[in-house]
Amino acid sequence: MRKSLLFLLLLPLVFTAPGFAQSQAGLAGITGVVVDGSGASIPAAKVVVANESKGIRRNLESNAEGIFTAPALVPAAGYSVTVNVQGFAPYERKDIELLVGQSLSLPIAMSVSAATQQVEITAGAPIVETTKTDVSQVVTTGQITNLPINGRRVDAFVLLTPGVVPDGTFGLLSFRGIAGGNTFLTDGNDTTNTAYNENAGRTRISTQLSQDAVQEFQVLTTGYSAEYGRASGGVVNTVTRSGTNDIHGTAYWFYRNQDFNATDRYANGVNPEEVRQC
C-alpha cells in the first residue's frame, strides 16, 4: 500500500519535470560569487538584479558559499547587479546584456568600505560564460533586422552558423552532417513539426513566425545540456520580442519584377509578363 501511494505521489513529478526544464530554454540567467579581498566567500550578501525597461527586479541573498542565482530572466540589454554587505563598499555593475540561452557568471570582489566609497562598473571586459559546455551561436536582433533575406524566412539565418548546411531541396537543415533529428523551440516551447522533422511552417505548411516578432535565436550545434531533450542533430532556440511602453511598428513591401529575374533558357531568353491585380 505504501509503495502504491509513493508511486502516485511521484508520478506527477515525472511528467512535469521535462516541462520545468524546457521552460528555461527561451530565457537567460545570472549567477555570481561574492568574495572579499582575500577570496573568502561572503554569505548573506544583499543582491539586486534589475532591468528597469522590462520591469524586472529580483532581491536575492548569497548562500553560505557566497553564491547567488537569478534564473529565468528575459533576454534583453540593460540589466544591472547591485551587491550590498555591511562593512563593505557597495558594488554595482550596469549595462549587462543577456542573450537567449545564456547563463552569465559574475565574480564579485567586495572591497572594505571607506567614507562614501562605492565600486561601480559601467563598462568592462566581455563577460565569459565559465559554465558553458555547448557549441552555440546567437543570431541577434541587429542581424535579423539588417541582413538581407529572401521571403522573410527568419530561420534561414540559422545557416550563418558554422557546421549547418541545407539538407536537400525542401529547406531542411543538417547539423554536423546529421540530417534530421533537430529540435526547434519558441519561447521555451517545442514547436518542431514532427511529421516532417522541421521548424513549424518551414516548407510544407505556409505558416511561419513573423520576422518582426523574433528578437533573437540561439543555434546549438553540439554539447548542449539535457534540458534541450531529444535532439540528435541541432537545436534552434528562438525567443520572441516583448512589449514596451512605446508605440512602434514596422511595414514591408515585396517588389519582384520579371525584369530582374534570370531568363528562362527554355523560353528563348524571354520572361513572361507578370500581371498583378490590386
Whole-angstrom distance, CA of residue 138 vs CA of residue 52: 24
**DSSP letter at 169?**
T
Count how many Cα atoms sit within 13 Å of the Cα of residue 103 in the half-sphere of its side chain: 16
| Cell 550590498 found at | 84
- Asked whether the predicted pLDDT for residue 21 surpasses 70, the reply is no
Write out the three cell numbers for 19: 516541462
Which is more confidently placed, 159 or 1?
Answer: 159
Lowest mean pLDDT among 43-57, 103-117, 203-217: 203-217
Domains in the chain: ranges and CATH: 2-121 (2.60.40.1120), 135-240 (2.170.130.10)
* CA 172, 185, 149, 139 torsion-angle sign: negative
Residues with Cβ within 8 Å of 14's Cβ and at least 6 positions away in sequence, in order, are none
The whole-number pLDDT of residue 31 equals 94
Q: Beta strand 178-179 with 172-175: parallel, antiparallel or unpaired?
A: antiparallel
Q: Where are the beta strands (DSSP E) in the chain?
A: 28-35, 46-51, 56-61, 67-73, 76-84, 91-98, 103-109, 119-121, 135-139, 164-167, 172-175, 178-179, 183-186, 189-190, 192-193, 198-199, 214-222, 235-240
Highest mean pLDDT of the ranges 43-57, 199-213, 221-235 = 43-57
